[in-house]
Amino acid sequence: MEITLNGYYTLIFATLVLLLGRFMIKNIKVLEDFNIPEPVVGGLVAAMIVYALNIVWGYSFNFHQGLQTATMLMFFASIGLSADFGRLKAGGTPLLIFLAVVSVFIVLQDVVGVGMASALGLDPLLGLVTGSISLTGGHGTAGAWGVVLEEEYGVVGATTLGIAVATYGLVAGGIVGGPVARRLIKNLGLTPTPDNPNPSNVEKVAGAQSLYSTKHDEDGDHRQEEMFEKPDNIRLITASSMIETLALFAAALAFADIMTIVAEGTWFQLPTFVWALAAGVIIRNALTMVFNFDMFDRAIDVIGNASLSLFLAMALLSLKLWQLTDLAGPVLIILLVQTLVMILYAYFVTFKIMGKDYDAAVLSAGHCGFGMGATPTAIANMQAVTDRYLPSPKAFLIVPMVGAFFVDIINATVLQIFTKIPF
């Protein structure tokens, strides 16, 4: 029996899923320790209930797709509207180098995913799902690309698999980041002395502290640490600022809709959510650089976080878990290999290219966090390291900007190239 729910009931169930996730995280410590998002926790429980109803009584639920699509586009537009390229100056050369390191790893992650999938007899496009779509991209990107792969490429179960892989990545990224950094720091000869650091330790991070203080003052705000990695922070918003911000979102979504139609069948055909992200980037930087417009970032943050949570809740409600039964074994093998690749890359590439010093070790822990999971995982990894050893302002300046904003732009570009390759 199929039960179709309209937009009202879809929204009601989505908010109930979010409340359930919040309740579980507050009462189950391991979920909080690994920074598992509220919609993922509540959504997976809801998906299991829907699965049980299907197996026992044959019920199947269809939720309102238009609302889910709208929230997805709003989320990606918020990423674009937050990606102020002027902030690249705050990170300087180290940020650009780290962006290059991350970009190469995204390509490597997809090469490994596609190669392993082909070797195990799976659709190569499922390799992208077990690659940067879900791991570097996280749940939002997994849900968005899952829909594209299912509808345009006929990849069955791509959304369900993407959500599952992204959840694995959050846990794995939180597990491997700390040990990688501690091993590197041990090789540097630093000891855990947070209360009484020795002079040599202080000297090694003094340069980074100075850089951070200067650049942070020039930037004039701390919002790169507050967007998607701190969604519960209180932000003061007025009705007029919210209306202005909604107008920006409307412009981004309208641009995305028009470009999707115009580009259909051409060489620059892109998924609608990629156009939404690109539109946000164009609008943001055109207004700030050309017209010196003062963007109201707090409203963008709130709309972006709320849209992401609602989108994930609805995506998880729509999961069909029975589609994954035949993929469990091969996918687990691919994910274990991806985890090993992340560890080796962070240890031998990220650390060395970023300077082979204490800051580079902390950056390696952060890279494990969002290379496998998400920016909150990266922040948690770095906090665990700096709480035990020394502060690393340089790492806390670079990772949030790369992980929360710029990596999604790079990932979307890389994935668009990979999907055009005839496997």
Residue 235: pLDDT band by 50, 70, 90 thresholds?
low
In a domain, 33, yes or no: no
Provide the Cα torsion 306, 225, 335, 50; round to 10°.
Answer: -20
Cα 137 to Cα 413: distance, rounded to the nearest angstrom: 12
In a domain, 360, yes or no: yes
| 67-97: b (≥16 Cβ within 10 Å) or e | bbbbbbbbbbbbbbbbbbeebeebbeebbee
In a domain, 19, yes or no: no
pTM: 0.72
Q: What is the pLDDT of residues 373-384, one digit of tens each?
A: 777 778 778 888
Residue 175: pLDDT band by 50, 70, 90 thresholds?
confident
In a domain, 12, yes or no: no
pLDDT surpasses 50 at 102: yes
Cα 346 to Cα 208: distance, rounded to the nearest angstrom: 20
Residue 196: pLDDT band by 50, 70, 90 thresholds?
very low
DSSP H or E stretch at residue 3: strand 2-4
In a domain, 24, yes or no: no
Residue 30: pLDDT band by 50, 70, 90 thresholds?
confident
Spatial CA neighbour of 54 closest among 322, 416, 372: 322
Residue 88 pLDDT: 67
What percentage of residues in the chain have a pLDDT greater than 90? Answer: 35
Residue 116: pLDDT band by 50, 70, 90 thresholds?
very high
Report the SS3 class of residue 2.
strand
pLDDT surpasses 70 at 293: yes
DSSP for residue 327 = T
In a domain, 257, yes or no: yes
Q: What is the pLDDT of residues 322-363, one digit of tens each?
A: 666 667 789 999 999 999 999 999 999 999 999 999 999 999
Residue 253: pLDDT band by 50, 70, 90 thresholds?
very high
Cα 93 to Cα 364: distance, rounded to the nearest angstrom: 17
From start to end of 193-348, where are the E strands? none
In a domain, 357, yes or no: yes
Residue 279 structure tokens: 């539109």
Q: Is the dihedral of CA 34, 40, 42, 45 positive or negative?
A: negative
| Cα 50 to chain centroid, rounded | 26
Which range marks the domain in which residue 367 is found? 82-293+326-419
Query: Structural domain tally of the chain?
Result: 1
**Range among 8-12, 188-192, 217-221, 271-275 rated most confident:** 8-12
Cα 123 to Cα 116: distance, rounded to the nearest angstrom: 10
Segments in 64-133 forming alpha helices (H):
65-82, 88-119, 124-128
Mean of pLDDT over the chain: 83
In a domain, 72, yes or no: no
